[in-house]
Structure 1
Amino acid sequence: MIGFGLRLTLRGGREGVVRLALTAAAVAIGVALLLVTVAGINGVQEQNARFAWLNSGIAEVTSPHAEPSPHPLLGRVATDHYKDERIIRVDVAATGPRSPVPPGIPRVPGPGQYYASPALQKMLRSEPAAEFGDRYPGSLAGTIGKEALPSPDSLIVVVGHAPRDLTGAHGAGPITSIATLSPGTCWQCRYGMEEDVVALVLAVTSGALLVPVLIFIGTATRLSAARRERRFAAMRLVGATPRQISVIAAVESAVAAAAGTAVGFGLFLFLRVPLAAVPFTGESFYPGDLSLSPAQIALAGLGVPVASAIAAWWALRRVRISPLGVARRVTPSAPRAYRLIPLIAGIAELTYFLGRRPDTTNGQIAAYMSGVLLMMAGLVVTGPWLTMTGARIMARRARRPAALIAGRRLSDDPKAGFRAISGLVLALFVTTTAIGVMTTFVAERGTQRGDRTAASTLVADLEHRTVRGAGGPRSGSASVPFRTLDEVRAVPGVHGAMVLHPDPSGPRDPGDPSSRDMLISCADLAGATGFGRCAPGATTAAVPSHFAWILLDEEHDRRGTVWPASPVAPERLRALPVQAVMVRTDGSPRAIERARTALTRAFPLMTEPATVAESGADTDTARMLTGYQRLVNVVIIVSLCIAGCGLAVGVVGSLNDRKRPFSLLRLTGVPIGVMRRVVLLESAVPLLVTAMAATGAGFLAAELFLRSQLDYTLVAPGLGYYLTVLGGLAGSLAVIGLTLPLMERITGPETARAE
């Protein structure tokens, strides 16, 4: 029977070939999306693993089997900025011939040498030296290899020093072995995604994308299901056994699915390179990172055809019971209200965890993702009941033939009417939930970036700059040389520089040295806007330790603040150590970068200068928000694409299955325009009814998750969300409209005769 099934599939005439090609094409799209999703998850893990060496010196990411070196490597990792780019600077010094060597380079660079990533070398060649290149004096020793770069666009430089330069430097410490474990398991790691973030990314991505993809593949394998039922019923009437019919159907579906799976793998390989350039996590991927494990390849390559064969076997259950049942086309029983149970159960599960949030990340994933997936399954199960309810209302209120016919047909078989738009319903649910969570999270924890003054004011923190003297290295800063200040003030676009000194009277709170006031010259403060002013007649003002960051406080206007006078005379003020230098610019990138480069060249081991806006944005919260935003965008775009493909396949399959009824209606005199409106209403009514339910369920899921996980109340999304939903619905109706021209071609008199 397998050979007979192959002959029927491959030599079934033009109609069989078209059906095989359409099913294979739809499966190919679904498989390609499935593989891209899984490969993206693998890519995030690979990218996170290559962040490990940047956290060397932290026990949580150091392999317990690593042998410590007798000659530690002195290392320090800092973050620099250039325009809108973040640069990772690694300062290293070898203390002996056996000092650990960072990955990607053959040896530890010596003083006056540095290794740079390919992307950074490109910037060094293309950008003016006075704005960027002069920050790394010396010679380029080589290129950092791929094994040390999370992304081909990573901007990383490894700068060599003498051991005495890094001894006692802020942030520097001994490294006896290079970290190799993923930073996802480390709470102290500065670089890489934290464990809970990675876990949530993987869970949300897989849960939100894999389910619609699998539904789409299932829809594709049901193309021409009704016509296949009639053909197999005829075989039963001439003596075929149920088992033989099942084998033939399984072979036909498996062949189409196998062909589609093979093409899907080809599409994945074709799309892998362009998709690798998309910075889903903030940085692009190496194409090799978007790869699949042997187990994943086997699961997709074998699982899709097997699942298609099982789906075909299940779809023909009526034929196996009675072939005459297909011919009679008995109206299936109407859906009952008990279909609401899974949806209610998902809501109840999320409600249960209000005030009972699990303590572990895995527990939270199990709790919240299972609830969300249960709600998604509930929407699919409840969809036919909602479709039937909407169809009956439309039929009762119908004033035109098209509405009456569509209402009656939907009432008779609401499962078939909902099946075509089930993918879009899930896409709306996922989109609503994701945007609701993201909007609230940004509203509650969004980082303030300040105004134009914050974006144009550069801050160089010299508090931890290493100073050498007779007593050895110590933390602090001597006065900034006049030559450096003159060089900075001479940069075109720089309006002035404010020098901040620690108050010699000491901290206000002995237990909190960071609360110490700082002193500033009233002459410097007079030319600054947005920072307040001195008291009348004062020459020196006392300002708080967070003076530079008041520009980020949008709730209080500091422009009218009068800072208290300090008894420290200007002559004594200039002799005090310098804690920070604030450079006021016109906001142009050229002025900011030239001033930043001048300060970095003068103090290479200080905390890298950054504008107030950059410092406010370069936080863990801001990076997490950026990652969540990209994740939301990915989920929305891919979900809508999957839904659109599934809708097109479902409508085309529905039209193909109903060629004979439509052709008979046309022979009885029904205008083609009326039949097109029937098809449009049969898709639009369940779409609009279930869309409202999916949107409401999405907001409810977001509210329950936010209250349980973060104790936040849902913040309504902006206009963009509603435009996205309306655009998605309009696009779906457009997809349905594009299939209507097929009506005239498939409902001719020859179709009725052939049947």
Structure 2
Amino acid sequence: MWARDLFLGARFAVGGGRQGWTRTLLTAVGVGLGVALLLLATSVPEIIDNRSAREEARSAGTQYTETEPPRTERTMLTSDANTRFHGEQLYGRQLRAEGSDPILPPGVEKLPGPGEMIVSPALKEYLATDEGKVLAGRLDARVVGGIGDEGLLGPGELAFYKGSSDISLKSGAHRVEGFAQTEQQGEQPMDPTILLLVVVACAVLVMPIAAFVATAVRFGGERRDARLAALRLVGTDARMTRRIAAGESLVGALLGLVAGAWFFLLGRTSIAAMEISGISVFPSDVLPAPALVALIVLAVPVAAVLVTLFAMRGIAVEPLGVVRQSARRSRRLWWRLLPTAAGVLLLVPLAGSLTGDEADVDTKKIVAAVVLLLSGAVLLLPWAVERVVRKLSGGPLSWQLATRRLQLSSGVATRAVSGITIAVAGAIALQMVFTAVEAKATQDTGQDPALAQAQIYGQYTTVEQAAKLNKALKGTDGVKEAQGSLQAYVGLTGTTADGVSVTVGDCATLRELARIGDCREGQTFLARSSESDEPDEPQPERGDRLALDEIEGGGSKAAKDPRDRWTVPGSAKEVTSRKTADGQYTSGVMVTPSAMPVERLKEASYRAAVRTDLSDPEAMENVRTTVFQADPAYNIFEMKTRTTSGEFLGIQRGLTAASAAVLLLIGFSMIITTLEQLRERKRQLSVLVAFGTRRSTLGASVLWQTAVPVVLGLALATVFGLGLGWGLLRTMGQAKVDWLAFLPAVGVGFGVIAMVTLVSLPPLWRMMRPDGLRTE
């Protein structure tokens, strides 16, 4: 019986004339978009896994050990060459073959020689632009090839491999034998609060999609119900009629699955050209999990049937028409409160469970609580709209037309805003959690950007290299001041203590690091940190002997060269160190270049502070170019008062991309639903115009009819969103709550409504024409 009635409904959906096909097409498109986004959501784990696998494959060769492997025909030397240009991060490495058959990084067919580089397709395209020509001058190499997909994180990544004859083990390069992971690296567990943010975000972003699919299967429901009245004339009973209606919806859902697969494949082929928040994805990475695909294929048709049967409970399809406007029993409240109560019962016991760094996140309970509470908001919306519009009366004619329509049938208008209600409620809760997690993931650096805008750090630097880079920085356009020094750790003879810090610089540089007063070349200073009374490293005294060829305490063995032993002169002046732009204090021995045989220092590093002209937008790029051309392995850090963890920033970029997709879906859903309402009322609108009702009055009535459920929906979303956010913050042990977090989400909600209203106005004017009086 069920199969027969469902099949009959399917035949009506396919052969029901233009109106039947229109409804089926609307349902298929709506369900298809929802299914496409669900398929994309199920592909996210595969996207992440594939990106991580490629990242490990190309960086595995840099998993260095304390002992360098022996040189062979297959080994190569490599060092970092990462850089930034106008906010874009470039992945780069310098390569130098040590034999005739060197190993190759993933995606590279031939190793570049000195003065050559192999680039990603995106970087090659960028270098051809006017802006990219400046970057080409920084990289200063001829493009001889491209990097394949297996060597890139995404199609939009800017990456390059540059050949070099200058890098060596002494300059800080490392010898590698391959780019395949040989040791299993232990993964650091994700911070529980960040994991909570991810779990909540997944639930919040998927819920509106599910609501949209449920709404899509009801597209064109009023006209379909009217057509079903004709079946009662030929002897069908009420149950059979409902099953036939479910069969019609089932066809739309099945076609929606096909359309969703097509939308998904279409988007998959064009996803390589998209980049949101710096994230780009290869089409081959977008592979939904088979188990989740099977779940979607089963759940969507079943949901279509159940939603249709549930929606028709309050409709009496009689032989002479559909009875939905007569007085009926008010919507019950008690069962609509059950999901909210269940969500609260799940969330309350979790209070304080995520206060530790190693706390376990009960993802199942949190997801269930989020889903139940967001569902509670949607279930309460029809009841709230019914209760409010029942008491509305009087006012302008447009207001009366809108309120009367809502009093007679508010179901379609309520369904139209269910998605935005879920989205706004979830966004408010997510924003509250996001703010709390961001506060935890963000730390004060102690840096002072007013003293310097950038710090440069490089390892394995010689005196000549440091002097050359100092001169180049001071001559760089946009640089007001640059102070660079050499730093190294040396052994303190006769002790087993850690190494003593030695800083080498001219008087101007040392004056920035400590209060040295008068200074002349050849002078030595003993810097004492004013930050703590108990310094972490040993403090040398006058007469102490330092082992320049060692980086830790000891010096017990005899020196191979007498120049490797140096005595702190008795004339050394004790000074107090200053807090530098990076928030650190420099202690230990400070010398001018001629006071010590600095060429004997082992593993000396270069550190410089650069102050730029803030009115020159290219000053920082000029600094990066100067440093890169001196040594691409040197690091440049922009001074910031606060810093945020990279893990959190990655999640933030992912949330931005997902939120944009969900908002587009919600906007499309509301546009289709609004157009459906207008199409259902086309004849009524034309009759009112024929009787002399002004078009502006009818337009205002449509606006009011949309505005009332929207305002009530956003009000419910605010209450539920703040409540859910407060409950989630309690799991983190957060006492401080931002109760104004709802403002941005509600503002976006109103913005979506305004967009939908503007889009629906042109069809509204067309539907008021006299030809709307014609009937078939």
Aligned-residue identity in percent: 26
Q: Look up the match of 1:465.
A: 460
**C-alpha spacing 1:385/1:71, structure 2 compared with 1 (3 Å):** same
2:518 partner amino acid: G
Q: In structure 2, how many angstroms separate the alpha carbons of the residues matched to 1:200 and 1:70?
A: 49
Bigger drift between 84-93 and 741-750 goes to: 741-750
* Counterpart check, 1:421 vs 2:417: yes
State the shift of 1:53 in Å.
1.7
**C-alpha spacing 1:543/1:653, structure 2 compared with 1 (3 Å):** farther
Assess if the C-alpha contact under 8 Å between 2:513 and 2:580 holds in 1.
no
* Counterpart check, 1:153 vs 2:156: yes
Unaligned runs of 5+ in 2: 65-71, 532-576
Alignment of 1:448-527 (within 5 A): 456-459=453-456, 461-462=457-458, 464-465=459-460, 477-478=462-463, 480=465, 482-502=467-487, 516=501, 518=503, 520-524=505-509
Q: Look up the match of 1:81.
A: 84
Residue deviations 1:319-348, cap 9 Å, x none?
A: 899878954765443233322332243244
1:638 partner amino acid: A
State the shift of 1:418 in Å.
2.0
State the shift of 1:694 in Å.
0.5
Q: Look up the match of 2:545.
A: none
**C-alpha spacing 1:482/1:115, structure 2 compared with 1 (3 Å):** same
Bigger drift between 689-698 and 438-447 goes to: 438-447
Q: In structure 2, how many angstroms separate the alpha carbons of the residues matched to 1:374 and 1:182?
A: 40
Assess if the C-alpha contact under 8 Å between 1:276 and 1:284 holds in 2.
yes
Assess if the C-alpha contact under 8 Å between 2:424 and 2:746 holds in 1.
no
Q: In structure 2, how many angstroms separate the alpha carbons of the residues matched to 1:741 and 1:182?
A: 66
Q: In structure 2, how many angstroms separate the alpha carbons of the residues matched to 1:308 and 1:501?
A: 71
**C-alpha spacing 1:149/1:635, structure 2 compared with 1 (3 Å):** closer
Structure 2 residue corresponding to 1:705, chosen from 728, 731, 739 = 728
Residue deviations 1:310-369, cap 9 Å, x none?
A: 544554457899878954765443233322332243244333322113988984433433
State the shift of 1:634 in Å.
3.2
State the shift of 1:427 in Å.
1.9
State the shift of 1:14 in Å.
3.5
Q: Look up the match of 2:211.
A: 215
Aligned residues between the structures: 705
Residue deviations 1:583-625, cap 9 Å, x none?
A: 4443657654555445445445x5x2314338x88x7x35344
Q: Look up the match of 2:377.
A: 379
* Counterpart check, 1:727 vs 2:751: yes
Alignment of 1:621-660 (within 5 A): 621-656=644-679
Q: In structure 2, how many angstroms separate the alpha carbons of the residues matched to 1:393 and 1:424?
A: 25
Q: Look up the match of 2:23.
A: 19
Assess if the C-alpha contact under 8 Å between 2:503 and 2:589 holds in 1.
no
**C-alpha spacing 1:305/1:291, structure 2 compared with 1 (3 Å):** same
RMSD: 5.1
State the shift of 1:379 in Å.
0.9
2:159 partner amino acid: I
Q: Look up the match of 1:345.
A: 342
Assess if the C-alpha contact under 8 Å between 1:506 and 1:516 holds in 2.
no
* Counterpart check, 1:8 vs 2:12: yes
Residue deviations 1:514-533, cap 9 Å, x none?
A: 9958565442477xxxx688
Q: Look up the match of 2:54.
A: 50
State the shift of 1:301 in Å.
5.9
2:150 partner amino acid: E
Q: In structure 2, how many angstroms separate the alpha carbons of the residues matched to 1:401 and 1:688?
A: 20
Assess if the C-alpha contact under 8 Å between 1:242 and 1:319 holds in 2.
no
Q: In structure 2, how many angstroms separate the alpha carbons of the residues matched to 1:182 and 1:748?
A: 71
State the shift of 1:687 in Å.
1.5
Q: Look up the match of 2:353.
A: 356
State the shift of 1:628 in Å.
3.8
Q: Look up the match of 1:279.
A: 275
**C-alpha spacing 1:316/1:612, structure 2 compared with 1 (3 Å):** closer
State the shift of 1:708 in Å.
2.5
1:345 partner amino acid: A
**C-alpha spacing 1:732/1:283, structure 2 compared with 1 (3 Å):** closer
State the shift of 1:423 in Å.
0.9
Q: In structure 2, how many angstroms separate the alpha carbons of the residues matched to 1:625 and 1:20?
A: 43
Q: In structure 2, how many angstroms separate the alpha carbons of the residues matched to 1:82 and 1:512?
A: 43
Residue deviations 1:218-270, cap 9 Å, x none?
A: 22221232332343243234223567645643443233334444444444444
Assess if the C-alpha contact under 8 Å between 2:624 and 2:636 holds in 1.
yes
Q: Which structure shows the bigger proportion of residues in helix conformation?
A: 1
Unaligned runs of 5+ in 1: 61-68, 189-193, 467-476
Q: TM-score, normalised by structure 2?
A: 0.73
Bigger drift between 364-373 and 285-294 goes to: 285-294
**C-alpha spacing 1:56/1:34, structure 2 compared with 1 (3 Å):** same
Residue deviations 1:641-676, cap 9 Å, x none?
A: 333322233334445556788789889998776665
Residue deviations 1:49-97, cap 9 Å, x none?
A: 321224426999xxxxxxxx99777655563333423222335567778
Q: Look up the match of 1:389.
A: 387
**C-alpha spacing 1:182/1:352, structure 2 compared with 1 (3 Å):** farther
Q: Look up the match of 1:228.
A: 224
Alignment of 1:522-533 (within 5 A): 522-524=507-509
**C-alpha spacing 1:173/1:511, structure 2 compared with 1 (3 Å):** farther
2:613 partner amino acid: D
* Counterpart check, 1:586 vs 2:571: no
Q: In structure 2, how many angstroms separate the alpha carbons of the residues matched to 1:251 and 1:693?
A: 34
Bigger drift between 429-438 and 658-667 goes to: 658-667
Structure 2 residue corresponding to 1:240, chosen from 236, 261, 276 = 236
Q: Look up the match of 2:555.
A: none
**C-alpha spacing 1:644/1:580, structure 2 compared with 1 (3 Å):** same
Assess if the C-alpha contact under 8 Å between 1:421 and 1:646 holds in 2.
no
**C-alpha spacing 1:275/1:548, structure 2 compared with 1 (3 Å):** farther
Q: In structure 2, how many angstroms separate the alpha carbons of the residues matched to 1:746 and 1:311?
A: 36
Q: In structure 1, how many angstroms separate the alpha carbons of the residues matched to 2:330 and 2:580?
A: 65
Residue deviations 1:100-127, cap 9 Å, x none?
A: 6432124666777654333344566668
Q: In structure 2, how many angstroms separate the alpha carbons of the residues matched to 1:373 and 1:427?
A: 12
**C-alpha spacing 1:206/1:708, structure 2 compared with 1 (3 Å):** closer
Q: In structure 2, how many angstroms separate the alpha carbons of the residues matched to 1:51 and 1:648?
A: 42
Residue deviations 1:28-60, cap 9 Å, x none?
A: 443444444445564344333321224426999
* Counterpart check, 1:187 vs 2:188: yes
Bigger drift between 424-433 and 709-718 goes to: 709-718
